[in-house]
Every structure is written in C-alpha cells, then in structure tokens.
Chains A and B, each alone.
Chain A
Amino acid sequence: MTDSLTHAPAQKAGIFADYSVPDFFCELLNRKDAPPPDLTRIYNRLAKFDLAELRHRAAAVEAQLYRLGITFTVYSDKEAIDRILPFDVIPRVLTAQEWDHVERGVQQRVKAINLFLHDIYHDQAILRDGIIPADLVLKNPNYCSAMVEIDVPGGVYVHINGTDLIRDQEGRFLVLEDNARTPSGVSYVIENRHMMLRLMPDLASGLPLRSVEEYGLRLHQSLCDVAPEGVSDPQVVLLSPGIYNSAYFEHVFLAREMGVPLVEGKDLVVENHRVYMRTVVGLRPVHSIYRRLNDEFLDPLAFNPESLLGVPGLVEAYRRGNVTIANALGTGVADDKAVYAYMPRIIRYYLNEDPILDSVQTHICAEPEGLAYTLANMNKLVIKPVGESGGYGLLIGPQASAAELEDFRNRLLENPTNYISQPVINLSVSPTLCEDGVEARHVDLRPFALTGRSTWVLPGGLSRVALRKGSLVVNSSQGGGSKDTWVLAS
C-alpha cells in the first residue's frame, strides 16, 4: 500500500490535505509513474484554492448551466423537469502518452467494428470460421435483416462511436463497453470546457491543453464524406425525436455546431425513394442524416408501424443508396454486451493485430461454463443484463445483500442468455468537490470517434464521475456527474 503512494506529491497540501486514496489509481495523486511537470503544476494550482472559493465557483457553474438551458429533461406524470448534469469543477487530466494510447486503441476498435458489421451483413466469414457463435449474431435482436447485402458508402457503419473506458488499480485502460448506435454526451464535453475556461481561467492558464472545438466541423465533414456518390454539395440534417426528448439539448447543440437543420420525422418526406425536407420554398433534397433515433423508430413502413417519430419510406430510400443514415442500421449487434466478450478475437481476426486496449474479462451466461462460473462467484462479480443501458438492472456482487444475491440468482437462472458477468474492477478515482471537502470519486471516460474517410478521435471525451461515495455507477440517471477532461498536448 505504501508503495502505491510513492508517486503521490510529497506533501499533500491545501484542499488535498485530507484527501485519501485507499488503493485506487488516481491520475492526480496516486499514479504509478512520476507525474509530468504540467500535472504537478495543475496539482499545485488546485491545492492553493480555498474550499469556500471553489464552492462559490461551483455554484456559479450550476446557475449558468440552468440559465443556458444545458439540461436534460426528466418526465414525471405531468411535469417536465429540466435537470443539469452535475458538473465538478476539478478537471480530469490525461497525459499526452496516455491519450496517444487511448486514441490508437479507439481507432483500432472502430476499424474492427466496421469490418465486423460489413462482414456479418455480407459474406459472414467470421461466422463460418467459428470465431463467434452464429446464433449470437444472427439471432441478436439488433441484427437488421434489411441491411443484408446492402453496401454503405465507404464501408462505414459506425460514423459516431463512443467507447466507455475505465482504469483499473494499476491505471491500465480497459474497455467497458462500446456504444455504436447513438452514443450521447459529446455536447457536455464541449460545454464543460467552455464552463471551465470561463469559471476557472486561472487554473488552465498557460497549460498546453488539446482543444475540443473542432468536433462540429469534423462531424459535418464525416457526414459529407459518406454522402451518396455523385452529390457535390450534400445537405446534412440532424434527425431528432423532437423537443420532448431528454437529450434534445444535445441535438440542438450538434445541429448548431454543424450549421445544419435539426429536423423531426414530420419535416422529412420520401418521394420516389428520395428524401426531402419541407422548407418555405418547397421540398429540398437531403443527402446525409445524422439520426438520434433508434432503428425501430426510423420508418413505420420498415419497423414499428406505431411510431410517429420516423419517416415512411426512409429505409427503402436508404437501401437504394439515395441517402446515407449515420449511424447505419443494425449497428447494435456490435455493441451488444455479449458480443463484447468476443471483441478481442474480432480485432485479431480482421486486423491481425493484438488489441491495443484491453477488455474486462467477461463470462457469457449463455455458455454453460460462463453460467457455472457466474453462479459460483456471484458475490465477487458484476452481473449485467445484455440489453440494458444506463446502468439499470445490474448487480454489483460485493455490495449486494444475501437477499439481493438470492433474488438475482433466480432472475439469472430464469433467462441466463440475458446476462454476462465480469470481475469487479477497482475503478480509478479523481479528486472531486464533495459535501465534506475534496474526496476521491470513481470516474470513467467516453472518448468519441468520428469516421468518414478516416477516423478522428476528439481529444479527451466525457469523464463521468460517480458522485455518491463508494459508488461505481457513473450514469447520470444514477447519481452521476461529469468533469472536464483535459488532454495535455505534450
């Protein structure tokens, strides 16, 4: 234990005087290597802050977020309540070397995911070669038969990808899951930076921080890259479920940053298998659609006939190559929690390379050995339903009571194919302003990758923080907040 503290600053001072990091990795106070000089500078600047001053600034940030309407909407029975994602004023810092590793790892993973998706909707070589069970892919609820034999521009299925990363006790980055459908949260990355520079200018001053301003431009470029062939000046739109969607702010943000219209399904019309938007000068053609709508709501003719959100005829127009939809349909197979377990093998199969980013060891309860292991070790494992997101319905074994374990065991036995299990990872921590002062809280990291002609990763990403003491769940729906993520340029 003393060994792990070797590289902590010699004297914990100021707001860090009472900071204790039991045996977790902490980028700022408990690294495995000597921190680069800029990290030490950030530490020293932070340490000088007065706690009251820090709280004062935190309150100012919160008020500003409300005024600007950087909020997500929670619906109760009758009312719509605007909530902010709690923002912590202490940034999470990554060194240039750490980021280089993450960036290469994410690019590799996105490349493999796109090759995998192309393969399973065409030749299915990976299934014939027995690398991954055919049933897991073909019977997956997210497998989209409308995509079979359809060629997408540039072979890109996942144009926007979010990779959830955690760091273990040793500081090693591990992929927790992929988000290859409609990953959200990127607006917070950019708005958090704006907040930070406005309210903590003294902290960032003079530091070589990688900028996050390019995202909108890059996103627009990627969507132009993949527009249908022969279109010289493609019209890009962002398709949103509308003003009542909880992530509407992010849709507005992205449409604005790209300078393109935010449309709802009712703004689009399909005529002759081409897509148009309704404008005051009549119907105008649309070429690339960044949709923030799940597959099943896109087109009542192709999927859920009850859905009023989508555009009748959109999928057929897409299948004929008259419009590009980003992300493509049927990408949910790639970020499935059970398919995740095969991702290292998928990477080796298509790229003939070792994965740059490790995965968390995963037991698939659909397989007899996986189920047996899980049942025998429930109190040591995290058990997750494969189809859920948002941190719902999972069991953290070591924190569960005997009754909860028993209850979960029954649920697991009822439908083993619905679950996977993983060892509990001692998530890394980051100093966070809490009620009793600055304390260690667990964090994760979601870098965002854009793919058009090539893959670009936004420096940093969304750092989510579990604000409840000891909690490992960072989701906003479960008491999570966020931090600005700083990537040092050198």
Chain B
Amino acid sequence: MTQIAFGLSSVLPGLNHLLSRYAESMMWLARYMERIENLARLLEVTEAFVRGPDGHTGWDSIIQLNSDEDRFFSLHDSATEEDVLVFYVTERANPNSIKAMAHSVRENARAVRPLISTEMWMQLNIFTRWVLDLEFSDIRLNSLSSICNRLKQECQTHFGVTEGTLYRDQAWLFYLLGKHLERSDQITRLIDIRYHTLLPQDEKIGSDIDITQWASVLRSAAAYHAFRRLQPVTTTPANVVGFLLKNEGFPRSLATNLSQLDSTLAALAGHRSLRKRCSSLQERVADLRVTLLDQTADDIIIRGLHEYMTWVQSQLSLLQAEVADAFWPAMPEKPYALEMQSQS
C-alpha cells in the first residue's frame, strides 16, 4: 500500500519544495547530455561505416536525421565532410552543434549547481569548458574518432557520477524524465531516417551493402553487439527495427525508455499534490506503450514505419510540452489559501 512506484520507491524525502526552474534545468541537462552522446556516436559511425550509393560517406543523412536542412544550407553551400563537421561540432550558430549544446549544458548545470553534487558539477565544469574551447583544427589534429570517443566517454562519466552521487528527490525524477524522453526521441529519429535511406521501395533487400548499412544503424545506437548475441544469423530490417523499438533488455530501445518514463511519472505521482498533475502525462505514456506492445515489427513496417515514428515523435513532443505546463507554467496558479478565499 505504501509502495509508491516500482523500483523508484526510495524516492521520497524532500518531496515538496523543488523550484520549478530547477526541475526544468534538470530535465534539459539530461536531454542535452543524451543528445551530445548520441550525436558524437553518430558522427563517429558515419565517418567509419555509412556510405551512400556512390560510395561516399553519408554525411548528408545526419542533416536529415536532425531535420536541419534549412539551417544547414543557410550557413553552408554543400554537405562536404568539413562543412558537416563544422556545423555539428563547433558552429555556435547551430543550436544542435555539440558546442552549442555544451553551452546549454553549462547554463543548466550552473542553474542547478546548488542542487547537484560537487562531483557532478566538477565533471560538467571541466567537460563543458573543454568542448567550448574546441576548434575545427582540433578535429583535424586529433582525428574525429578520438574527439567523438572522448565526448562519449565524458557523457557516460556524467551519467555514472550522477547515478552515484545525486540525491534521490524530485530533482532526480525530472532528470530521469529528460533522459528517457530524449532516448525515446533519438531512437525513433534514427530508425525513421535510416530506414528510408537504406530501404528505398524499388531496391532488393539482403544485398551486401544492405547488411553493412544496417549494422551501422545498430552501431549508431550502441546496439550492434547486443543485437548480434540475440540474432546471430539473420539481419533483416524487421529484426533490426524490432530490436531497437521493442527489446526490453536494450537500454536505448523505445520500449525500455517508455517503461522508464512510466515508472518515473509513477514515482512523481506518489506525492499527494502531484498526483493530479501527473495523470494526463501517465495517460499519454501508457498509450504509447500499448501501441508499441500491440504490434510486431512486421506490422509496424507494413502499416508504415515512417507514419508510426512520426506519431511517436509528436506524442513525445506533446509530453514535453505537458510536463512544462504542469510543472513550470508561465502563469503560476494561485496559492491554496487564496483559492479558498476567492471561493467564499
């Protein structure tokens, strides 16, 4: 009866005074760190494994994946390797560049500095300062893959330090909301864009290049070896899609992250005054989970993978907007005592 939420039931103390601004910053801190890690992985994999039909590195697919076509071509003439790397690593004018995101991480980390552990702050302080000082010449000098590896490692260090030192109160729950929302978003974008890049309607499936390309999709999600263990023989688009969307043991799958969102919201709703605020959010996540559970990967592909991914993404962005409305509304509600007065 007193069990508040599955697995997160220990999140109880200090549950009533988290500033709205802190909640917002915790959520975005997690989202941006996830994004940086994903983008670093994607850049590295693209350089090594992704080839277009002409055999050239598929840099332009990254632009598609982030829906950055307009912004990219307003700043650059063509999607050459250098242009794409500048755009995604060092260009401050691009809010989706690693540098711009590191700036956002720094601002959010500074805002919640009174709340997070000194270990978390120290690591973020050093990390963001390093990224903000990166120049394009550093990428040339050290190779893209070594830069990407350090970026990934620093992000993972952050997640580890956070897991090990952040006090488990509401701040932690908003951090988890951000992390799992972002992972859900990233995985659906990746599948959506790569599916259509790799599987044009009129081409035969199962060719050599096809398998290499699907392997690269898995690598972009850090899923390659886990997938191999599960599917030693057959790599089909449906297997890959199924693994990335539905596998419950893979930490970056949609299913895993929806389930984490669900238990995080349940933990938040455990606080009496938050129950009402959480109910519509919980409803939306439940809806996403049921829809995913009800279909096989083949169903999804036959019914239209792109349409489904678009729907999931729109639900996720509605979820973010609803979280904002519920916990950091532009116009705060009247305090309880005043509501009573105005009713009399």
A67 within 8 A of B: yes
> CA A264 – CA B112 in complex, angstroms?
12
Check A279 against B16 for contact (C-beta < 8 Å): yes
How far in angstroms is the closest Cβ of chain B from A306?
22
A409 within 8 A of B: no
B126 within 8 A of A: yes
Check B332 against A264 for contact (C-beta < 8 Å): no
Check A279 against B114 for contact (C-beta < 8 Å): no
Check A67 against B19 for contact (C-beta < 8 Å): no
Name which of B212-220, B296-304, B334-342 contacts chain A: B334-342
B140 within 8 A of A: no
- Interface positions, chain B 187-245, Cβ under 8 Å from A, are none
Q: Which residues of A contact B121 (CB under 8 A)?
A: 68-69
Q: Which residues of A contact B125 (CB under 8 A)?
A: 67-69
Name which of A144-152, A254-262, A477-485 contacts chain B: A254-262
- Interface positions, chain B 5-39, Cβ under 8 Å from A, are 16-23
> CA A109 – CA B17 in complex, angstroms?
38
Q: Which residues of A contact B334 (CB under 8 A)?
A: 271, 283
Check B328 against A278 for contact (C-beta < 8 Å): yes
Check B19 against A267 for contact (C-beta < 8 Å): yes
- Interface positions, chain B 94-135, Cβ under 8 Å from A, are 107, 110-111, 113-114, 118, 121-122, 125-126, 129
How far in angstroms is the closest Cβ of chain B from A281?
4
A243 within 8 A of B: yes
Interface residue from B22, B277, B338 paired with A271 (Cβ < 8 Å):
B338
Check A263 against B336 for contact (C-beta < 8 Å): no
A252 within 8 A of B: yes
Chain B interface main SS type: helix
B90 within 8 A of A: no
Check B114 against A261 for contact (C-beta < 8 Å): yes
Check B335 against A279 for contact (C-beta < 8 Å): no
Check B332 against A282 for contact (C-beta < 8 Å): yes
B279 within 8 A of A: no
How far in angstroms is the closest Cβ of chain A from B189?
29
A266 within 8 A of B: yes
Check A243 against B23 for contact (C-beta < 8 Å): no
> CA A266 – CA B111 in complex, angstroms?
13
Check B335 against A278 for contact (C-beta < 8 Å): no
B316 within 8 A of A: no
A289 within 8 A of B: no
- Interface positions, chain B 66-109, Cβ under 8 Å from A, are 107
B186 within 8 A of A: no
Interface residues on B, range: 20 to 34
How far in angstroms is the closest Cβ of chain B from A427?
35
Q: Which residues of A contact B118 (CB under 8 A)?
A: 68
From B170, which residue of chain A is reached at the shortest CB distance? A280
Check A269 against B332 for contact (C-beta < 8 Å): yes
From B336, which residue of chain A is reached at the shortest CB distance? A282
How far in angstroms is the closest Cβ of chain B from A72?
13
Check A248 against B110 for contact (C-beta < 8 Å): yes
A284 within 8 A of B: yes
> CA A67 – CA B20 in complex, angstroms?
28
- The interface bits of chain B over 137-178 (1 if a CB of A lies within 8 angstroms of the residue's CB, else 0) are 000000000000000000000000000000000100010000
Check B18 against A280 for contact (C-beta < 8 Å): yes
B250 within 8 A of A: no
- The interface bits of chain A over 389-412 (1 if a CB of B lies within 8 angstroms of the residue's CB, else 0) are 000000000000000000000000
Q: Which residues of B contact A255 (CB under 8 A)?
A: 114
> CA A277 – CA B21 in complex, angstroms?
10
> CA A70 – CA B129 in complex, angstroms?
14
Check A278 against B332 for contact (C-beta < 8 Å): yes
Q: Which residues of B contact A252 (CB under 8 A)?
A: 113-114
> CA A302 – CA B333 in complex, angstroms?
24
> CA A276 – CA B328 in complex, angstroms?
14
> CA A272 – CA B111 in complex, angstroms?
29
Check B122 against A280 for contact (C-beta < 8 Å): no
- The interface bits of chain B over 270-301 (1 if a CB of A lies within 8 angstroms of the residue's CB, else 0) are 01011001000000000000000000000000
How far in angstroms is the closest Cβ of chain A from B75?
19
From A269, which residue of chain B is reached at the shortest CB distance? B332
Check B126 against A281 for contact (C-beta < 8 Å): no
A264-B21 contact in complex given A67-B125, A69-B121, A252-B113, C-beta closer than 8 Å: yes
Check A267 against B20 for contact (C-beta < 8 Å): yes
B308 within 8 A of A: no
Check A279 against B336 for contact (C-beta < 8 Å): no
Q: Which residues of A contact B333 (CB under 8 A)?
A: 282-283
Check A280 against B114 for contact (C-beta < 8 Å): no
B49 within 8 A of A: no
A285 within 8 A of B: yes
| Given A67-B125, A280-B19; 11 other pairs, CB 8 A cutoff | A68-B122, A69-B122, A256-B114, A271-B338, A276-B332, A278-B19, A279-B16, A280-B18, A280-B327, A281-B274, A282-B336
Please list the residues of chain B having a beta carbon within 8 angstroms of any beta carbon in chain A. 16-23, 107, 110-111, 113-114, 118, 121-122, 125-126, 129, 170, 174, 271, 273-274, 277, 327-328, 332-336, 338
Q: Give 25 CB contacts A-B under 8 Å.
A: A67-B125, A235-B17, A243-B111, A252-B113, A252-B114, A255-B114, A256-B114, A261-B22, A267-B20, A269-B332, A277-B17, A277-B19, A278-B21, A278-B332, A279-B17, A279-B20, A280-B18, A280-B19, A280-B274, A280-B327, A280-B328, A282-B332, A282-B335, A282-B336, A283-B334
Per CB-CB distance, the 5 closest pairs between chain A and chain B, nearest first, are: A283-B335, A243-B110, A281-B273, A280-B327, A262-B114
